[in-house]
């Protein structure tokens, strides 16, 4: 016990080794907020941070993030994979050829480290074990590159990865082998989604069937109040908004490839769960007229939480889901909630920091010492934040034109 306490104290001291670290700890301790600017300035800063996260690896991949204790982290195959569509979208938006080239570098690196079986490596760094979820996320990147470049090597890599996923899928549609903590997860809906994306290009029925089987298994986990069992990293923990959003986003994106009763059921459960989260968020106010406080980091199966910190990754992801539901339903509640929560994430992003590991990045938690990715600015939070701002911009431009 003494050794454990000593280790924690040592790590806490290490977090304050730079003035920029101390500044953020002070800011969050006293709940001071940064000035927020127009979306484009925040978006550009996030993209620049992601570019630095790629450059620091010197391999084409993207660093997992910047840690107060460990500085820049190793390249992360999973999240590098889904940074690709973010770069490509911003490249299209700004006509930036450099970002397309960066995306190709990531895709090539992912092929270089892909297992002969087709699987993608788990964990941060170049690990020697495959993971189902990571494989699905990199498929999304390869498909985005194939759509952009028409280079067959990216479609071939995605197909090889998908064949591996099918080969180790359980008969009832879930994945329980080569998964995080050797457990099935409802958030594997975000693996079903890339299989459907791949089906669109290959027309191979086995990809569509595998995706639908996983979705049906996930829907079997839904309770009457819109809660999904097994949304967390482990079966006995309350899931983060991060993995809740993975679950809902995977279903929502999959619904665009489906029709009939299954599509209706997906939209109903996603809307139900999203309304529960939105209600909890909107009620977190100091008074009736104030802006909601930050969304709590986790929920239990009654949609309750005792957290005193927020998962910024989950906040950005939830904003994307609310924005997409607004596009589907034209329900202004989803748009209003998304705009508020995006502004709150913007208020945590430092745009004028001399520390390039911090400037433009999004932390795992607010305050910075929250339990999720403590004292770390993470690539996936920054990626989802950029996605949320770009989606918001598209929607707002559409409203203005109408």
Residues 6+ away with beta carbon under 8 Å from 364: 65, 311, 312, 313, 370, 372, 373, 374, 376, 377, 378, 381
Local structure of residue 188 (DSSP, 8 states): G
Which stretch of DSSP H or E encloses residue 77?
helix 77-94
CA distance 24 to 40: 23
Q: Where are the domains of the chain?
A: 36-401
Q: Model pTM?
A: 0.96
C-alpha Rg value of the chain to the nearest Å:
20
Measured from the Cβ of residue 30, the count of other Cβ atoms closer than 10 Å reads 8
Distance separating alpha carbons of residues 293 and 276, to the nearest angstrom: 16
Partners of residue 135 on adjacent β-strands: none
Report residue 189 CA to chain centroid gap. 13
- From residue 340, alpha-carbon distances to 120, 197, 295, 299, 394 in Å are 36, 31, 11, 20, 17
Q: Where are the alpha helices (DSSP H) in 114-220?
A: 132-149, 152-167, 189-202, 205-219
Q: Following CA atoms 333, 339, 343, 345 in sequence, which dihedral angle do they give, to the nearest 10 degrees? A: 80
H-assigned helices in 220-259: 241-255
pLDDT for 9 equals 47
Structure confidence at residue 7 (pLDDT): 52
Reading the block at residue 108, the tokens are: 């090539």
Note if the bond before 367 is cis, omega within 30 degrees.
Answer: yes
Q: What is the DSSP string of 140-153?
A: HHHHHHHHHH--HH
3-state secondary structure at position 313: helix
Give the number of other Cβ atoms within 10 Å of residue 389's Cβ: 24
Q: Which residues contact 350 (CB under 8 A, 6 or more apart)?
A: 24, 34, 358, 359, 360
* Interatomic CA distance for residues 120 and 356, integer angstroms: 29
**267's tokens:** 């939209």
Residues across the chain: 402
pLDDT at res. 156: 98
Tell me if 151 sits within 8 A of 143, measured CB to CB.
no
Residue pair 48/94 in contact (Cβ under 8 Å)? The answer is no
Per-residue confidence of the chain (402 residues) as pLDDT tens digits? 434 434 554 566 778 779 999 999 999 999 998 899 999 999 999 999 999 999 999 999 999 999 999 999 999 999 999 999 999 999 998 888 899 999 999 999 999 999 999 999 999 999 999 999 999 999 999 999 999 999 999 999 999 999 999 999 999 999 999 999 999 999 999 999 999 999 999 999 999 999 999 999 999 999 999 999 999 999 889 999 999 999 999 999 999 999 999 999 999 999 999 999 999 999 998 877 788 999 999 999 999 999 999 999 999 999 999 999 999 999 999 999 999 999 999 999 999 999 999 999 999 999 999 999 999 999 999 999 999 999 999 999 999 987
Two tokens, residue 93: 């938006």
Q: Smallest Cα–Cα separation from 358: which of 70, 71, 3?
A: 71
- For strands 310-311 and 376-378, give the pairing: unpaired
CATH classification code of 36-401: 1.50.10.10
């Amino acid at each position: 016990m003494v050794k454990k306490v000593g280790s924690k104290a040592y790590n806490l001291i290490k977090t304050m080794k730079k003035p920029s670290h101390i500044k953020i700890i002070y800011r969050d301790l006293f709940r001071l907020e940064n000035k927020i600017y127009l979306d484009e300035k925040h978006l550009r800063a996030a993209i620049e941070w992601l570019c630095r996260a790629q450059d620091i690896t010197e391999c084409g991949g993207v660093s997992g993030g910047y840690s107060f204790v460990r500085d820049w982290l190793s390249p992360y195959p999973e999240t590098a994979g889904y940074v690709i569509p973010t770069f490509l979208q911003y490249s299209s938006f700004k006509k930036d050829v450099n970002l397309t080239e960066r995306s190709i570098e990531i895709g090539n690196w992912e092929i270089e480290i892909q297992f002969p079986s087709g699987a993608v490596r788990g964990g941060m760094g170049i690990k020697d074990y495959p993971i189902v979820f990571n494989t699905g996320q990199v498929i999304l990147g390869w498909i985005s590159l194939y759509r952009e470049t028409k280079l067959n090597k990216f479609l071939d890599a995605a197909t090889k990865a998908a064949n591996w996923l099918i080969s180790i899928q359980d008969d009832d549609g879930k994945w329980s082998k080569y998964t995080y903590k050797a457990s099935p997860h409802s958030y594997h809906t975000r693996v079903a989604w890339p299989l459907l994306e791949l089906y669109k290009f290959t027309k191979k029925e086995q990809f569509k069937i595998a995706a639908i089987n996983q979705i049906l298994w996930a829907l079997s986990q839904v309770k009457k109040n819109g809660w999904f069992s097994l949304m967390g990293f482990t079966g006995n923990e309350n899931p983060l908004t991060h993995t809740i959003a993975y679950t809902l986003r995977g279903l929502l994106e999959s619904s665009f490839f489906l029709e009939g009763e299954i599509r209706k059921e997906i939209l109903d459960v996603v809307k139900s769960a999203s309304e529960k989260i939105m209600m909890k968020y909107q009620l977190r106010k100091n008074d009736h007229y104030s802006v909601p406080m930050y969304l709590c980091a986790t929920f239990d199966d009654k949609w309750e939480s005792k957290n005193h910190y927020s998962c910024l990754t989950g906040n950005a992801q939830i904003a994307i889901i609310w924005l997409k539901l607004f596009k589907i339903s034209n329900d202004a509640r989803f748009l209003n909630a998304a705009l508020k929560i995006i502004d709150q994430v913007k208020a945590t992003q430092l745009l004028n920091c001399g520390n390039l590991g911090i400037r433009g990045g999004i932390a795992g938690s607010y305050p910075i010492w929250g339990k999720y990715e403590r004292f770390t600015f993470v690539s996936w939070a920054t990626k989802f934040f950029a996605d949320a701002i770009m989606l918001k911009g598209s929607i707002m431009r559409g409203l203005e034109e109408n």
